[in-house]
Amino acid sequence: MAQTTLAPTGGGGQASPHGLLGRTLWYRSIDRYPDTGARIFYLGIVVVATIILYYQLYVAGAVAPQILAHYDMTFRFYVYITVVGNAVGAFTSLLAGLGDRWGRANMTVYGLLITGLLVLFGIPNAPNEWAFAVIVVAVGFVEGIILVATPALVRDFSPQLGRASAMGFWTLGPVVGSLVVAEVASHTLGHLHAWQDQFVICGIVGLVVFAFAMFGLRELTPGLRDQLMVSMRDRALIEARAKGIDIESTLKRPWRQMLHLDIVLSAFAIAVFLIIYYTMVGFNVIYFGAIFGWSASQANALGNWIWAFDAGGLIVIGILSDRLRVRKPFMIVGGLGAAAMTIYYLLQATHPHTGYYTFVWIVSLLAVFLAVAYAPWMASYTETVERRNPALTATGLAVWGWIIRAVVAISILILPFVVNSMTPIVDNGAKLTALEKHYAVDIATAGAVDPATLHTLTVNPSNTTAGLKAATEVSAKFNISVPAAITRLEALGAASKQSDFKFLQSEGPKVEQALKVSPGQWQNWFWVCVAGELIFVPMVLLMAGRWSPKKAKEDAETHERMVNEELAKLAAASSES
């Protein structure tokens, strides 16, 4: 009988037998489950890589108004870039399901290289809006793959009893990515005025992290990662089993094994739950600028509060969920709490004088409830996939990646139709504001004249009766002499012939009307977000995991006894051989 080694393994595991260059550039597998220090090191690289990738994905939101102005881009065109980027990312998420056969580490490492180059050199030098769109979509292409590869790596290196904590740290990727965007933008936009500088900073950081990941990131061999690991106690048993696993048989018909209601509906539930999150990431700067008149720096500073509280909540809740060994109660509380805070948030949409710090505490609590639901959900989803087949974790995560990107793309596509007032506001608002300042005297003069008289003069400027009446009205309004009033009317007449002034007269009323209806339309959109949060709650029932901490503890104790029995049998068989 062949001898089976059950002795503890050391360090990060035995690396592949390829040379240093091969292990650096491509071969990253280790055939022993790593000790705690090495495991945390690998998980740390994955978390940092995820943060940077989401930083690169979200940085455009921080300078969206400047991008629109630079390319003379319409709001709808900008929205459609986001839609296409998410749609492309949805389908590349499916490609990432190949990580079950090909591994996950190289997808992450070289994804960092590609996005770093695109963000550093491509986007800042895009000559027109179409080139900008193509490069942004290319970033979305890569991000769709990384969305699957990185949580698969986290699952591989974290047993179930520590899964929520690990997934809480992984979820720091999108959240801290958002926080980094807001933090950098709020502190640099006042000094680095060119919007391209935000992408240059982001690209440089991305390439530094790529270099770090290229030398440091490793992954488990298929024989190790394809098994269910409940606790670190399972380590020796898993390594022994890995020697006899038929990898090919576990990977047959992967999509048929994963396309079940518990997996598909759970993925759909989290996708609609996070519509509010993606709305804040993509449109907070535009929303608060248009509705509340905030600067980009102010809106990004509010983002600092949102993402800081979200990040802290993910870590704390992940630890609590692992300590209590349950996920579902946290998801229910998070779903209902997020819905309640979103309702309170949307009620402020029609009150343009709501204070800055009122929004701070509202969105901070909303962010905490999002975290309460999301970290345990990520852990429970991977456990739901493992319940079907632990060897197909990347495929299960690919289902989630496809669904979440598809839902985001569809929701963002719908948003401009629900909030159609944003198109004239974003497209013409800044230009009209500048023109209003330039023509302030002429606008004031026109406002002093009776509308019927002004219309008569517009049709027939030589009408002396209307002219005298208008001069008298202007003289009385501004307490100036009639000759001075006539001079102002002549200036108004000259201005009215200019294209900019005609633009101001034709588009100004449209923007003014849009500003009146926009708060109500945004309120309608936030109700859509609430519906998504409420849909999430009953879907929790489909997922793996106990409701009771007591029952979960009993399950863990039963599993540990089983592991001890199997280890004893293997040890006995080893000594007999």
**Which one, of 452, 460, 438, 448, lies nearest residue 508 by Cα?**
438
Report for 19-28, 51-60, 204-213: range of highest mean pLDDT: 204-213
Distance (Å, whole) CA 378 – CA 397: 10
In our burial notation (b when 16+ CB lie closer than 10 A, e otherwise), range 137-175 reads bbbbbbbbbbbbbbbbbbbbbbbbbbbbbbbbbbbbbbb
Amino acid letter, residue 49: A
266, pLDDT greater than 90: yes
**pLDDT for the residue numbered 361:** 93
Structure tokens at 233: 């106690």
Distance CA(200)–CA(117), nearest Å, equals 10
Three-state SS string over 463-529 comes to CHHHHHHHHHHHHHHHCCCHHHHHHHHHHHHHHHCCHHHHHHHHHHHHHHHHHHHHHHHHHHHHHHH
Percentage of residues in the chain with pLDDT exceeding 90? 25
The region of weakest confidence among 33-42, 334-343, 521-530 is 33-42
**Quick one: pLDDT at residue 147?**
79
Mean pLDDT over residues 91-111, rounded? Answer: 76
DSSP H/E element including 219: strand 219-220
Give yes or no for residue 151 having a pLDDT over 70: yes
Instruction: Give the model's pLDDT for residue 165.
Output: 73
Question: Is 348 a residue whose pLDDT tops 50?
Answer: yes
Q: What is the pLDDT of residue 5?
A: 32
Q: Does residue 567 carry a pLDDT above 80? A: no
What span, in angstroms and rounded, lies between the C-alpha atoms of 92 and 424?
34
Residues 46-75 have a mean pLDDT of: 87
Confidence (pLDDT) at 99: 55
Residues 6+ apart with CB under 8 A from 365: 309, 337, 341
Question: Which region among 319-323, 413-417, 496-500 has the lowest average model confidence (pLDDT)?
Answer: 496-500
Per-residue tokens: 91: 């389908």
pLDDT band at 237 (very low <50, low <70, confident <90, very high): very low
pLDDT tier for residue 125 given thresholds of 50, 70 and 90 = very high
Are 474 and 480 contacting, i.e. CB atoms less than 8 angstroms apart? yes
The pLDDT tens digits for 283-332 are 888 888 878 888 878 888 888 888 889 888 988 998 898 888 899 999 99
Instruction: Give the model's pLDDT for residue 561.
Output: 75
Question: Phi, psi at residue 58, to the nearest 5°?
Answer: -100, -10
> What's the mean pLDDT when you consider all of the chain?
82
For position 164, what pLDDT does the model report?
Answer: 67
Q: Residue 494 is which amino acid?
A: A
How much is the average pLDDT of 534-547? 93
Q: Which of 489, 504, 505 is nearest to 456 (CA)?
A: 489
- pTM for the whole thing? 0.75
DSSP character string of 157-203: TS-GGGHHHHHHHHTHHHHHHHHHHHHHHHHHTTT--STHHHHHHHH
* Mean pLDDT, range 203-213, rounded to an integer: 93
Which pLDDT score, from 0 to 100, does residue 37 have?
84
pLDDT of the residue at 12: 45
Lowest mean pLDDT among 8-17, 59-68, 351-360: 8-17
The CA distance from 395 to 385, in Å, is 9
pLDDT band at 4 (very low <50, low <70, confident <90, very high): very low
Residue ranges and CATH numbers for the domains of the chain are: 35-227+259-419 (1.20.1250.20)
pLDDT at 251 over 70: no
Question: 3-class SS at 45?
Answer: helix
- Using pLDDT thresholds of 50, 70 and 90, give the confidence band for residue 530: very high
Residue 493 and residue 471 in contact, taking contact as beta carbons nearer than 8 Å? no
